[in-house]
């Protein structure tokens, strides 16, 4: 018996013994000459579903990649802008010229990159040197800002420290520690250094002035 005959016999048996919708469909197909619609093949539907899922996955990944690229571009522009500002600031500081009075007696010694300025002069055989330091204590300033939330930044005045050294032709070297604060000069300490060994540890520490 051929496969086609066997299939036809099985379909007739199912139509005569079953009351399911499938048997009704078989009976209608056997009794009618109209073509019976066949079910779509499941593999094709599965392939279509997989293709749709893949397209949705790629579409969902595209905005994330675009967002990451945009964030990288913004970060690069910010870094380049900061570098340009630093370079311009350094160039402006290098080209800055300070107008001094014609009778200003001190020689100004400025070391680039160092937060200090040295003033020096000779008078009556004595050498007077004043080294001025700018003390920007960033951490302490930030703590004060946290404690006082309403503090204006313009009200913050940096503390200027100055070490004045007086060297005479003979005798010890005198050294004074001074502070500038609120337009006032305060002498904090005085030392007498050994002329032959100014860095010696057994120097004379004078009284505290403040």
Asked if residue 102 is part of any domain, the answer here is no
d(CA 204, CA 194): 9
Q: Are residues 88 and 120 in the same domain?
A: no
Q: 190: burial class by Cβ within 10 Å (0-12, 13-18, 19+)?
A: middle
Cross-strand pairs, 190: 176
pLDDT tens profile 51-102: 555 555 455 555 556 667 777 787 778 778 878 877 776 666 555 566 777 7
Q: What is the pTM of this model?
A: 0.44
Q: How many domains does the chain have?
A: 3
pLDDT digits (tens, 9 = 90+) for 123-182: 888 999 999 887 655 445 445 555 555 555 555 555 788 999 999 988 889 999 998 877
**Whether 139 and 183 share a structural domain:** yes
Neighbours of 162 (CB within 10 A): 19
119: containing domain: 107-205
Do 113 and 131 sit in the same domain of this protein? yes
Q: What is the CA radius of gyration of the chain?
A: 47
Dihedral over alpha carbons 50, 55, 60, 64 (to 10 degrees):
120
């Amino acid at each position: 018996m051929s496969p086609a005959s066997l299939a036809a016999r099985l379909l007739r048996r199912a139509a005569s013994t079953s009351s399911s919708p499938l048997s009704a469909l078989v009976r209608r197909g056997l009794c009618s000459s109209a073509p019976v619609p066949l079910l779509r093949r499941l593999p094709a539907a599965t392939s279509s579903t997989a293709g749709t899922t893949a397209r949705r996955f790629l579409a969902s990944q595209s905005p994330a990649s675009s967002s990451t690229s945009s964030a990288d571009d913004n970060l690069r522009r910010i870094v380049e802008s900061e570098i340009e500002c630093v370079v311009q600031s350094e160039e402006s500081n290098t080209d800055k010229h300070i107008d001094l009075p014609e009778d200003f007696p001190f020689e100004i010694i400025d070391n680039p990159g160092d937060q200090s300025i040295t003033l020096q002069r000779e008078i009556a055989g004595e050498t007077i040197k004043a080294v001025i330091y700018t003390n920007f204590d960033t951490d302490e300033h930030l703590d004060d800002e946290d404690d006082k939330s309403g503090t204006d930044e313009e009200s913050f005045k940096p503390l200027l420290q100055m070490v004045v050294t007086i060297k005479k032709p003979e005798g010890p070297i005198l050294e004074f520690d001074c502070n500038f604060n609120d337009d006032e000069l305060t002498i904090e300490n005085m030392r007498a250094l050994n002329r032959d060994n100014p860095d010696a540890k057994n120097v004379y520490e004078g009284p505290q002035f403040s």
